[in-house]
Amino acid sequence: MAKDHANIELLKQLETYLDKNDFANASVLFSKGFVWHFFNSQLPNIQGDYVGADGLQTFFEKLAVVTGGTFHVETVAVIPIGNELVVTHVQDSMTLKGQPIKLDAVVVWRIVDGCIAEAWDIPAIHTLHTPQPPMATAA
């Protein structure tokens, strides 16, 4: 069985910590100057840069408030690019302004010397997946 790329293994460790909201212990995975960049003009109160594991925790806390704690991420694909970058395609689901939504996003991770140095979270805000209404049944 082939072993995953080392950077993918690192991101799997991060996912485990984040699933448990264990940001304090996740800090060992980040470089000293880690920055999380979030781009979303539809959420101007959250858009911006967050520094360190504490900053990442602040980002997810703000997101939880805006979504009423409904935010969930499902990984679709993970692609290592050389020894420094990993691109993840994810689908985010949440309730926003009373409406359930699902959208695609890309997170580009930069990993240096075995630590996460930087990440760019870029959601596709103009092409949402909307739930389909149930089909009418013939009488």
CATH number at residue 31: 3.10.450.50
Inside any domain, residue 120: yes
Mean of pLDDT values over 20-36: 90
138 part of a folded domain: no
Answer whether 59's CB lies under 8 Å from 66's CB: no
**pLDDT value, residue 52:** 93
Q: Is position 137 within any domain?
A: no
Assigned domain for 133 exists: no
Q: Are 102 and 19 a contacting pair, CB within 8 Å?
A: no
Pairing of strands 115-129, 99-112: antiparallel
User: What's the number of domains the chain is made of?
Assistant: 1
Domain enclosing residue 120, as ranges = 6-124
pLDDT in tens, 63-113: 999 999 999 999 999 999 999 999 999 999 999 888 899 999 999 999 999
Domain presence at residue 73: yes
